[in-house]
A and B are shown apart, each in its own frame.
Chain A
Amino acid sequence: MTTDTVPTAVALEEGPPVRSAWMRFVSDRPLVVLSIVLVVLVLVTGAIEPNYLSLRGLRNTLLLAAPLGVMAAGQTLLMLTRGIDLSVAMVATAAAYVTGNRSPSGAAIAIVLGLVVGALAGAANGVGVGIFRVNPLIMTLAMAGILLGLFTQWAQTILQGSTSVAPFIRTLGGGSFFDNRIPWNVLVWAGVAFVVIWGLRATGLGRMLYAVGDNPVAARLAGVRSWQVLLVAYTISGLFAAVGGILLAGQAGAVDLRLAQNFLLPSVAAAVIGGTSIFGGVGTYSGTIFGALILSVLNSMLTFLDAGQAVKQVVYGSIVLVLAWFYAAVTRAE
């Protein structure tokens, strides 16, 4: 390598890191940039379809953003710990399926059972990753396969019967208040957002999530029992996936085994767009909220443009790639 032969010249050239004012602004206030991106996207979508720039049009975007944002909450927590949950979509589907199946016995019981399914699946992931040190990618991918196998079978046996959800869940997932302007599911999302943001900032668990992801060895030496942190984090992620799945089921009115399958990449994408690093220790949920909103507006835009699932896959993939590259460039400049 030519650079190795002239180290002094390189050192002189580099000097103190030079950062443009713009780059500094961007890396200090990522949320400002994200909101600019969001506003631009909303305006562009409005230019394509003028009706979109009304409360009714925005309502549809929020309706989609809420379940995505809730699922991405779990994803964010896990990415903070250097993990990832590739089973969110399947856990959400499984939980929603149980909720739909138990709906005849009342909404409350159905929801609780759905949440229990999500928490159990998440806890199983947590045991695998936290205690047995299975790679999170493999653990959660395998979990998705296991759940798909189990539920395909159970759908014809012990979970036979109802596939439509109770009226209360339908209102919660798809209805809206204030003259049909604000979807109910946004309230659920707001609740989740409050708990996550507050929890990450103000609780010991929140700080330990960052610690475990930032430097596992240092965290262990400081006395953090990382397996407990991971177990709790994966359980919470399963729980959030279940909440997202139940909201989706309410929106669709009925459950099937493909309910949430299109939410896997968007849930990871929302966290990545929001600035959460897959290497752990860096990120906030407020960024993820913007990520979920941006993806939902994008989805509305693609729907107005009559784009099919194929185009959506390509666009989502490209957006993730471009924004992740952008973040890497900005953070490296620091």
Chain B
Amino acid sequence: MTAVAVPSGQAAIRWRRWLVRHGWTVGVWVLLVGLIAWYSTLIPRFGNFTMASIAKNSLPTAYLAIAQAVVVIAGGLDLGVGGMMVLANATSALLMEGEGFGMTLLIAAAVIGGAALANGIVGWVIVTSRVPDIVVTLATLFIFSGIGLMVLPSPGGGTSGGFRRIFTGSSSGVGTNYWPSLVALAVPLALVAAWLARSRRGLSLYAAGSHPIAAYLSGVDTRRAKITAYAISGALAALAGLAVTAITANGDARFNNAANGTLNSVAAVVLGGIALTGGVGSVIGAVAAGVILFVLNPILTALGINPNTSQVIQGLVIVGVMAMAGLLELRRRRTE
């Protein structure tokens, strides 16, 4: 492209600027690829089956990462994503049991639409009441997962084979074809990423997140930006719940699932380079971080570490990365 014609000095500047802007995202993806490569040397047979397993099982965390990322970029924080995931999982598994493929698709669309509406209302409550995001969404975490538990008091339900194929590549949920899972992740990711980076409304999320007052004074409807962010977050959290239904053919509304989902989504966003203060970062990094959080599990298992220790290690990794980021920030501020 034109980079060839530009003098080398300018190219270097442009390159450096690109690296500063996207360095963290690139780093996270490199880390993910590295981890998967390492994992392939750890187990005796790394083939399509393993790839398919990673691709489908990391879907829920990856969707939740996008859901959280959109809200955090807009300057909020949605602790309710895990609750919404559990609610969507319970509702869809209950309704889809014994239905045909067409009907399950309709139910899935209704669940996503309903979740977007419900979480949009949450966003409206936040901007209208001016109650901190954390308080409102901590409440919705409990409300949504509670409703999920009312809908489906004990694990159960089911779905159609065709619906399982969309997310897992196989009507039995276990197979060697990983492409459908990758597509199921790439399509929403590409849509959200393009919308955030290119559309007027998408950019308004960044504006509202980085400096709400400045954004408001320059004519950005910050209220609408935040409500939109929450609605999208709800839809993606519901998608995570539908993915769980497709992978497990089961609904499970226990509160621990909701809490873990929320924790992973916040961790993925932070590791993915999105500042919790809002306005900075990209969903693409967050998705990679979400997949990393999932991939750590099989890697630690392959290393012969039991699941409880791997939970400890995951926690330490999250805190460690955050602490390092904090120290770097402190040093940067001192040297400036």
Give A contacts to B, CB under 8 Å. Answer: 1, 84, 128, 132-135, 137-139, 141-143, 145-146, 148-150, 152-153, 261, 265, 268, 272, 278-279, 308-314, 316-318, 320-321, 324-325, 327-329, 332
Contact = CB atoms under 8 A, between A and B. Distances in A.
A311 to B, nearest CB: 7
Interface string B290-315: 00000000000000001011111011
B125 A150 contact: no
B142 A313 contact: yes
B308 A152 contact: yes
Given A135-B276, A137-B266, A314 B146 contact: yes
Nearest to B145: A313
Interface of B: 77, 125, 129-132, 134-136, 138-143, 145-150, 153, 219, 221, 253, 255, 263, 266-267, 270, 276, 306, 308-312, 314-316, 318-319, 322-323, 326-327, 329-330
Nearest to B260: A145
Contacts, number: 140
**CB-CB nearest 3 A-B residue pairs:** A313-B146, A149-B311, A133-B326
Interface SS majority for chain A: helix
Given A138-B319, A309-B149, A310-B146, A279 B132 contact: yes
Contact of A325 (B131, B149, B150): B131
A146 B253 CA distance: 23
Contacts of A320: 135, 138-139
B309 A149 contact: yes
Given A146-B311, A148-B311, A310-B153, A318 B323 contact: no
A132 B263 contact: no
Given A317-B139, A324-B131, A142 B306 contact: no
A145 B141 CA distance: 18
Nearest to B266: A138
A9 to B, nearest CB: 19
Contact of B138 (A128, A268, A309): A268
Given A150-B308, A310-B150, A132 B138 contact: no
A137 B134 contact: yes
Nearest to B79: A137
20 contacts: A133-B323, A133-B326, A135-B276, A138-B276, A138-B322, A141-B267, A142-B319, A149-B310, A149-B315, A153-B306, A308-B149, A310-B147, A314-B150, A320-B138, A320-B139, A321-B125, A321-B139, A325-B131, A328-B129, A329-B129
